[in-house]
Amino acid sequence: MIHTYDAVVFDPEEPFWPQIESQELHPTVRFYVHSLNWIDFIVDRAVDRPKAEWNDAIASGVEFACTVAWHWWETNNVTPEWENDEHVWGGHAVAIRAASLSVLSELYPEDEWLYEAITYHGQWLLQHFDGYWNHGLSQALALMIVGGRLSNEEMLETGAKRAVACLEVMIDEEGAINEQAPEYSNYIERLRSTAVDALEMFDAPGVEKLKAKQRPLEEFIAHSLTRREPLWR
């Protein structure tokens, strides 16, 4: 089943977050908006090309994304109102947002607020770990991204160790995953591949262990997700 939600409507000329919180958004939608993952679609277009090649749409989009992220940080940075709100400061939201802010900082390397926000998210991830499943792995990968952006060895090392430990638990010797639904296996394979790339990028140990997980996981995917014809008709 594909879930559909009502569109999030806002006036770009007005403050963004008050408009968001005034709407009764579905929890999944509210989580996604607060994760800032959606700004990646804007930021990636700018990161991939020199600033001289930005057109008006890219330039205005990047400015909007930065303004929204800055207002998010000014509004939501761990006030009593927000700190226990899982859609704002829950572990999965923090992991996704930390990665998005890190990429945004490539466009605004001199913005002090952005450095503070990334540092805070990295410190938060050092102190919070949701365990050996896909959310914990996302947190570990985000910690590596932040650590790389800040040249913080503790964050890099901790994130790398957690990522390897997660996948060792999440994928057993036969390739079976520890998620309830086998359908998660394709997602886990994408995370495994991302983890391998990250470990190689930062020259962290554990690459061969994670590469060895690929074949049994692919066999599990083929066995558990491939539709078979019934034995009778």
Domain ranges of the chain: 1-143
Greater model confidence, 86 or 59: 59
CB contact set of 141 (below 8 Å; sequence gap of 6+): 95, 99, 159, 163, 191, 194, 195, 198
* Beta carbons of 163 and 192 less than 8 angstroms apart: no
Q: How confident is the model at residue 3 (pLDDT cuts 50, 70, 90)?
A: low
> Given the structure tokens 């509004």, which residue do they identify?
75
Average pLDDT (157-173) is 96
CA distances from 156 to 141, 145, 174 (A): 9, 8, 29
Return mean pLDDT, the chain.
Answer: 90
pLDDT score of 101 more than 90: yes
Greater model confidence, 233 or 46: 46
pLDDT score of 63 more than 90: yes
DSSP letter string over 16-36? HHHHHHTS---HHHHHHHHHT
Average pLDDT (37-66) is 94
pLDDT of residue 228: 52
Average pLDDT (70-96) is 83
